[in-house]
Amino acid sequence: MSGIIQLLPDHVANQIAAGEVVQRPASVVKELVENAVDANATEIKLIIKDAGKTLIQVIDNGKGMNVTDARLCFERHATSKIRHAEDLFALHTKGFRGEALASIAAVAHVELKTKQDQEELGTHVIIEGSKFVSQEVAVLPKGTSFLVKNLFFNIPARRNFLKSDNVELKHIIDEFERVALAHPAIHFVLISNGAEIFNLPSTNYRQRIVNIFGGKTNEKLVPVNEETEIITISGFVGKPEFAKKNRSEQFFLVNDRFIKSSFLHHAVMSAYDGLLKDGNQPSYFLYLQVPTHTIDINIHPTKTEVKFDDEQALYAILRSAVKHSLGMFNVAPVLDFERDATLDTPYAYKDIKSDVPLIQVDSTFNPFVTDTKKSSSSSNVSSGFSIYKKQDTTSNWESLYVGLKQDTFEVDNHTFETEEAVTSKLFDDEVTETKTLLYQLNRKYIINSIKSGLLVIHQNRAHQRILYEQFLTNITIHHASSQQLIFPLCLHLGREEVLYLKELQPNLEGLGFAFESIALDEVRIIGLPVQVKESEVVAILNDLIHNLQQNIPEDSFSLSDSIAKFMAKSVAIKSGKTLNEIELSNIVNGLFACKEPNFSPFNQPIFITLTTDELDKRF
């Protein structure tokens, strides 16, 4: 009788392994770029098409592979990084499991071209879905070129789970930035659909950060340096005034490897205690060097989570180093006990009393006097005041009103009575004899009396609904009013943010934004929607880009809807603002002119009614 348990075929085992290693095109980019770094390359070029779904190519000038290695590298658990189990605790390279290339080859069409420097000819290998197709000798330059085409061609279900090109491109750029930040000495290039997105020459850490996130990043950075026996910290943190509401510029690089650590993040946040507004996140680019035997990076398939031996000590050192840097560069408030001697009273004047200046007021001064004596005026200049002759000036100011009696006219009351009569006939059902009064409660709710009782309106949600329908209509018909700026507004954004802003440009122009130009790291705006203040533009656009990047809608209507919702939430009147009578009336009238006045854009109730019967029960 045959047993139940059987060994899986290699191609099935590779597809299962690929489920952990290759989750999306960005996973392939990460593995191939890290392999190029491990090959001691000084130039790495990443070429992608359709956000990596159609093509991913990584070209480097590293040491390359010979004929045997070029064939063996696609086998499972084949690696040049480790030889013994002890090597796992002394890692100086990126990849070490030997599963990446085998997993990639199992779910895509792969071409490998590689050549070592001392060899005259290179090797060209073609593999499709773990099936070896060919291996030939070819004339190639030094280094390695990996070509990955048609990702998930043999697993349609996995391909259907991929997001839109914008979402996948964002994940690829994230992985590219992490490797580029860790290795500033390497020249990196990223090309997407024929357009060059990044061209990062070999430089230092600070300049690499500036090249990735824009020229204005330089003025935001505060250097951090601390060296101890268990950890060496270097890098930069952002000034508190440049903090954002997202965590897009937060990087921990441990031993030249990007990691995610809520533990270390909390240490940095505690150093900013009292310096940030609620909800804001600081920028930091921190490079940590620890002994390899004190860290375990083999606890997660993507190797982005690590475990330290002495976490408490690292927490305290990191917190103190960041706090010291913020204080040393006068970013954090400090007590200064050094007195400026130039502000002290000289010793010779210590016992001398100062003279109190005398102020004299002319009680007879009359601003309507037109004729003054020059002699009296000139004689009193030295005394600090002038004496004017008092005279009767009635004739002068009465002359201003001469002729007004002839121009006056009597109001014809019959005209207004006729107007009122017409109005009462047209709007007899709507107009009441007494004017409805609106009240604001706790600067949050609007109270309005109705026939059945009281109407309580949430002012923030009501304004959100009004703006949401206005913005959605403007985006749809592209007929929004725009306020032109006298001087263009220049925004300095990261390249990733600028790329996504180009995708949103048609929708934003429908809202009323007018763009003069959109460059790689600078955006010039010459017009704004009438509801947006110039001082709020930077924060609104940064938050809009970040929020939509986290979950980019698949179709155009969903994108327009998301933009309208976010803009309504950002621009709407907040709770806590005092409104005058006109503003209260505009909100109430605008709300009940909406198509859906009952709920906010985020499906929250806008108002409630308290009937007279409910009020009577309270008494």
Residue 601 covered by a domain: yes
Q: What pLDDT is stored for residue 316 in this prediction?
A: 93
Residue 438 covered by a domain: no
**Residues spanned by the domain of 67:** 10-200
Residue 439 covered by a domain: no
Separation between Cα atoms, residue 314 and residue 311, nearest integer Å:
5
Q: What pLDDT is stored for residue 374 in this prediction?
A: 47
* CATH code for the domain of 491: 3.30.1370.100
Is pLDDT of 616 > 80? Answer: yes
Residue 348 covered by a domain: no
Q: Residue 524, class by beta-carbon neighbours within 10 Å (0-12 exposed, 13-18 middle, 19+ buried)?
A: middle
Is pLDDT of 391 > 60? Answer: no
Residues 392-403 pLDDT 10s: 545 555 665 665
378 and 463 co-located in one domain: no
Residues 128-144 pLDDT 10s: 988 888 999 999 999 99
For residue 580 the two structure tokens come to: 């005058």
For residue 160 the two structure tokens come to: 């259907």
* CATH code for the domain of 282: 3.30.230.10
- In 43-97, DSSP assigns E strands to 43-49, 55-60
**Average pLDDT value over all residues in the chain:** 81
Last residue of a domain, one of 143, 169, 200: 200
257 and 306 co-located in one domain: yes
SS3 333: coil
Q: What pLDDT is stored for residue 361 in this prediction?
A: 79
139 and 273 co-located in one domain: no
Query: For 115-127, what is the mean pLDDT?
Result: 91
- The amino acid that residue 499 corresponds to is L
238 and 170 co-located in one domain: no
240 and 273 co-located in one domain: yes
DSSP string, 477-501: HT---EEEEEEEEEE---HHHHHHH
Query: For 531-556, what is the mean pLDDT?
Result: 77
- For the chain, the domain total comes to 4
Last residue of a domain, one of 200, 223, 249: 200
SS3 582: helix
Residue 613 covered by a domain: no
Residue 129 · residue 11 · CB < 8 Å: yes
Last residue of a domain, one of 278, 313, 328: 328
Residue 346 covered by a domain: no
Residues 29-60 pLDDT 10s: 998 999 899 889 999 999 999 999 999 999 99
191 and 70 co-located in one domain: yes
Would residue 235 be called left, alpha or beta, if left means φ above 0 and alpha means ψ between -120 and 50 degrees?
left
pLDDT confidence tier of residue 584, bands split at 50, 70 and 90:
very high
Quote helix, strand, coil % in the chain, to nearest 5.
40, 20, 40
17 and 65 co-located in one domain: yes
404 and 467 co-located in one domain: no
563 and 578 co-located in one domain: yes
Residues 200-253 pLDDT 10s: 999 999 999 999 988 788 888 999 999 998 899 999 999 988 888 778 889 999
For residue 398 the two structure tokens come to: 């009465």
294 and 175 co-located in one domain: no
Count of beta carbons in the 10 Å neighbourhood of residue 571: 18
Residue 345 covered by a domain: no
b/e map of 202-221 (b: 16 or more CB within 10 Å)? eeebbebbbbbbbebbeebb
pLDDT confidence tier of residue 381, bands split at 50, 70 and 90:
very low
DSSP string, 526-565: EEEETTS-GGGHHHHHHHHHHHHHHT--SSHHHHHHHHHH
237 and 93 co-located in one domain: no
Higher-scoring residue by pLDDT: 110, 339? 110
Residue 416 covered by a domain: yes
Dihedral in degrees, nearest 10, Cα atoms 556, 560, 561, 565? 150
* CATH code for the domain of 193: 3.30.565.10
Q: What pLDDT is stored for residue 340 in this prediction?
A: 62
196 and 227 co-located in one domain: no
